């Protein structure tokens, strides 16, 4: 991480999920990460974005694991949300349910009232309580429907 342009692992993890949402909304079906190919596998460098020295997983690894559980191989891009205008949200149909990957670039952390039928998960796939969520630059998942 000390050689990347990201200030911390959480920022890098969020960037990877945003990147995947945008690519998958544009027709990309698979994303390959060539981690650990430029240097020794467990050396700390940008080439090893998923593991620290000694094989300890970074936040990017956990975030990608959560994304792969939610955005499964049969996914279909549905639409990019246009409202509210501060929200960046990409809706997919995946595994028989609705999945929306969302974030904002605003610094004030606006609150989003969850649409009926959708619950919220954090970047790592953990459930968030309540019918309102604070949206930040760290992506959230809105999930609904049967699996």
pLDDT tens figures, 95-143: 999 999 999 998 888 999 999 999 999 999 999 999 999 999 999 999 9
**Given a cut of 60, is residue 3 above it in pLDDT?**
no
Q: Please tell me the predicted confidence (pLDDT) of residue 39.
A: 55
Q: Which domains does the chain have, with CATH numbers?
A: 9-70 (no CATH), 76-144 (2.60.40.1180)
Name residue, tokens 């190919």: 37
User: pLDDT higher for 8 or 92?
Assistant: 92
User: Exposed, middle or buried by CB within 10 Å (0-12, 13-18, 19+), for 40?
Assistant: exposed
What digits encode the pLDDT tens for the residues 19-75? 999 999 999 998 887 655 555 555 555 556 676 666 677 788 889 999 999 999 999
Q: Which two tokens stand for residue 97?
A: 């349910």
Q: Please tell me the predicted confidence (pLDDT) of residue 11.
A: 86
Q: Whole-angstrom Cα distance, residue 14 to residue 12?
A: 5
What digits encode the pLDDT tens for the residues 74-104? 999 999 999 999 999 999 999 999 999 999 9
């Amino acid at each position: 991480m000390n050689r990347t342009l990201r200030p911390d692992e959480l920022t890098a993890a969020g960037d990877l999920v945003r990147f995947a949402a945008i690519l998958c909304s544009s027709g990309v079906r698979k994303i390959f990460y060539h981690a650990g190919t430029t240097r020794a596998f467990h050396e700390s460098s940008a080439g090893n974005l998923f593991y620290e020295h000694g094989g300890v997983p970074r936040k990017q690894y956990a975030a990608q694991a959560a994304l792969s559980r939610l955005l499964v191989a049969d996914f279909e891009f549905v639409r990019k949300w246009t409202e509210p205008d501060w929200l960046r949200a990409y809706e997919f149909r995946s595994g028989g349910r609705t999945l929306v990957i969302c974030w904002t670039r605003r610094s004030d952390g606006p609150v989003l009232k969850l649409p009926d039928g959708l619950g919220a998960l954090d970047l790592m796939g953990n459930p968030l309580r309540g019918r309102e969520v604070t949206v930040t630059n760290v992506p959230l998942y809105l999930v609904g429907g049967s699996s």
